[in-house]
Structure 1
């Protein structure tokens, strides 16, 4: 059923294995060469295949945060681990391994296709978080309990199930098929075969009573889960408002939890509860104000960035129009001085574009800096108002505690006098009677109780103050780092890459113009090779500025002069040939050169008799 250890030593997923796999499965040809030379960032990889590598343990995959497809089949993996960071995973293949327990998948909430075919799994469990699961394969395992099928009812998107060749399916395949069809009505394919509506209807009729009972159980469980989620969300809201449990008696329960003597003396005073309820309601109101301020801040930031982006795009579009015009003129020029002047005009346009884009970036930096300063000031004001009110409410709580303590002293003194005269009421608890034997014991208990209560109130205040100040500090630091530093660096890098690429295009065009050959150069032994197809495809999309083997200039027709001879391009050309001195003599004076009935486009690649020189 599962792979056995063989003579090959178990492998470890290390840097070398990952690098090799990424390079082998990455871009091919010239793009692959460039990717290998520049290095592929693991965080950009979308698909990774690590099958048939005798891997024993899943490890070192934490950098592949963008990964959507992972193949780990046909290894000797025993435990599912090390996948927590792969939160974008959609497709996971762990078939043909030695896995016994399904675990370690709770973070993979985007998973749609999951296969455990041919392992040692005996129970379907621990995949509750995979609500988007569409395909699930667990065939050829050790599933014995038919109730495991009921576990899969919680996945409404599950359409394909493979569970063949498990103990649970071997006794009566037809009965098992009907059970699945009845209890998993959304399944369309079972063990790679279609479950038609007729089969589902017959199965439901057979198991109708059990199915309806199960539906009732599911509804109750769903309602309980929804209520639990509602409470969790409510508690989270209260935590974000820094007033959690202040609408309950928890603070006072905590006060008396560490104060057993005080608990014997008195119950929680109602006025303290009132103060806490007021603080709770005020805290929620202030939270809404802070949230509105944060939302408004991000709206302003995004609006400023979008406006700046549109102005930058307009500048680039305007430049591209000028570039097209200049290149169209350049490729037909034969006069060196005119070419130089036109190239200078183009470079001036590139410099102007650089100035515009960098100016827009500096403008955005100033805008964001001003927005962040205003936001920081407003948030500091809101937090200050909140903390002042918190301190005022808790000061009021201390006052009530002090008043409560004074009453406790009076009550304790009166109770001591009654105890001395043996006049205590019959309903007084026995524990309190034991406490009232000695005056010092009673007064120490009252004082200790009071100190504990004040400490709890102080701790609550410190907790609120510390948490909200930490939240504000971390948020502002993150905004400065992400919106000012990182964003600015990325934008400047993008602009630099764009400008470098535009200058490269000018250099390339200049190169084509410089390689204008005369009869004399051909007599000297140089031949010009004509390449099949058009001279397009200079830039590889994911590598700005990278050069392919054949060059292009933005899909512009290239015309290169040979002593008055023009050679035009045509993508329909199917042959190669050399233009030598005799050809030049024969065709000189013609407006267009034609060889074998095809007009040609000149390749920048050429060779010399003395040796090869590829440009």
Structure 2
């Protein structure tokens, strides 16, 4: 008799429902759970082994899952686990997986089994820094360098690689022990001190070199992080790349004749002086930007502090009023329920409605007062921030004007040198040798003048563009911030009015219940 294998399946709703029911609590607790319906988001353990599963689907709602068993299936890809961020234990053994992937969000995973699959490379596990147990036995891992990848897992204590081609290496055990010194169990066996000593002795220098490289890489990453943070600060201050020669260099980047004109006699000293003075002006803008940014941030933080204090004070008052009203309201409802005379009941309810009206007026008055208070705070902040931005813009525009003056002066000096060179070329009195493409500029006065003027126009355009960019961005920041504050306040006010209205409506409904009950009787 030939055994007929079932068709491969995908995880579907029917399979999940059945698995959850089978694994639900037994006895009376189980009956209650089934009666109320078991929510996938509350399931902690899920067993889906031996179900001939090919694809992992429909697990996104099991957000509380800590243990998932998917062993002994025909799964080819690790997928569909993105939402299972609380997983601690995952079993994917005895499947057909070729590549380790799809585990990036499982940052709480401690125990992972990929035993008996088709994996040849240990990779894509960097997010699993809490990993303590890793089983990769009976796969196709052949290179010892795969073990080095595991050095990043400082909590790894148990590793199984038995049944891989890697295990046939003579130095396998000492290599693993040397590179993973905190490992306690390897291939189901406790590592002894002798093996550890042999591994350390044999690979000491290689490991020290690796650790040195890792340290350098880490330092480089930290330096890059610091640089990125600094750059972000400079961008937030709208003065990035103004703390050096970057603007000066950009003037010549799209200037086709810049390199030629730089070869003219006397131009080297002129350019050196120009760069030095331009860089000094840029540093003024840069330092002014950082100073003003710090002051703006302090003003913004102060605004939020004052706003929070006003909100907290208002909330405290409203809460106290509601608490005082609630304590007497309960007694009022009890008294109303005991009244049997309709006329007396009507009078009592009318009196209570007046109290509700007073409460509504009080709460609405407090909200109106808060709106006025916050409006004044926002207006003061708007004036302050507008003045600060205006002052910064005025200072920056003054410095950029100096940059243009500097460029104008440079242009005049450059034109003077160019025309003097033209005269020497015409008289064949030029002492310095210049390339042919430079000599071509000195055909006549118009050619020289046009080249120098085009260069000048390019430089002015670059300065203007950098100024416009700075002003546009800081104005956009100011407008966006102020518009956001006004929008948030409008939304907050609407929410609060709705809350008060709903609260008052609920009180009126509570008041009408005894009346309706008596009418029904």
Listed as ranges, the gaps of 5+ residues in structure 2 are: 25-29, 263-270
Instruction: Write the distance in 1 (CA, Å) between the matches of 2:434 and 2:248.
Output: 23
**Alpha carbons of structure 1 residues 342 and 122: separation in structure 2 relative to 1, 3 Å:** farther
The structure whose RCO (Cα within 8 Å, separation 6+) is larger is 2
User: Residue by residue, what CA displacement relative to the aligned partner does 1:107-157 show, whole Å, maximum 9, x if unpaired?
Assistant: x5x9332777446654444565x486455757366554443443444455x
Cα distance, 1:93 vs structure 2 = 8.0
Give CA-to-partner distance per residue, 1:334-389, whole Å, 9 cap, x none: 55359958994877776665555554444433333332232222222222222222
Task: Tell me, yes or no, if the aligned pair for 2:80 and 2:102 is still in contact at 8 Å.
Answer: yes
Tell me, yes or no, if the aligned pair for 1:59 and 1:82 is still in contact at 8 Å.
no
Contact 2:135 2:159 in 1 (8 A): yes
Structure 2 residue corresponding to 1:299, chosen from 290, 294, 305: 305
Please give the residue correspondences for 1:371-410 in structure 2 after superposition, counting only pairs within 5 Å.
371-410=377-416
Structure 1 counterpart of 2:148: 150
Question: Which deviates the most, 425-434 or 284-293?
Answer: 425-434
SS at match of 1:260: coil
Matched ranges for 1:359-508 at <5 A: 359-426=365-432, 428=434, 431-485=437-491, 487-492=492-497
Q: Which residue of 2 aligns with 1:167?
A: 164
Q: Match of 1:242?
A: 238
Equivalent position to 2:223, from 216, 224, 227: 227
Summarize the alignment of residues 319-398 of structure 1 with structure 2, pairs less than 5 Å apart. 319-323=325-329, 325=331, 336-337=340-341, 344=349, 356-398=362-404
Structure 1 residues 289 and 426, CA gap change in structure 2 (3 angstroms): same
CA distance in 2, matches of 1:320, 1:198: 75
* Range that drifts further, 221-230 or 352-361: 352-361
Per-residue CA distance 1:167-201 (angstroms, 9 max, x = gap): 3764479955x655554456678789988999878
Q: How many Å separate the matches in 2 of 1:175 and 1:408? A: 72
1:309 alignment partner, one of 315, 318, 340: 315
The secondary structure found in structure 2 opposite 1:113 is coil
- Give me the whole-angstrom Cα distance separating, in 2, the residues matched to 1:50 and 1:356: 55
SS across alignment from 1:336: coil
Looking at structure 1, the residues matched to 308 and 179 of structure 2 have their Cα atoms a distance apart, in angstroms, of 48
In structure 2, the CA distance between the partners of 1:441 and 1:211, relative to structure 1 (3 Å rule), is same
Query: Which residue of 189, 196, 207 corresponds with 1:211?
Result: 207
Superposition deviation, residue 241 in structure 1: 0.9
RMSD of aligned Cα (Å): 5.4
Relative to structure 1, is the Cα distance of residues 508 and 216 closer, same or farther in structure 2, using a 3 angstrom cutoff? Answer: farther
* TM norm structure 2: 0.71
Q: 1:56 touches 1:76 (CA, 8 Å); kept in 2?
A: yes
Shift of 1:483: 4.3
Say if 2:296 is the partner of 1:290.
yes
Q: Deviation string for 1:185-229 (max 9, x for gaps)?
A: 566787899889998788656644443333222221111111111
Q: TM-score, normalised by structure 1?
A: 0.62
> How far apart are residue 397 of structure 1 and its match?
0.8
Residue pair 2:81, 2:103 contacting (<8 A) in 1 also: no
Quick check: 1:256 aligned with 2:284? Answer: no
With over 3 angstroms needed to count, the CA separation of the structure-2 counterparts of 1:372 and 1:197, relative to structure 1, is farther
CA distance in 1, matches of 2:181, 2:382: 54
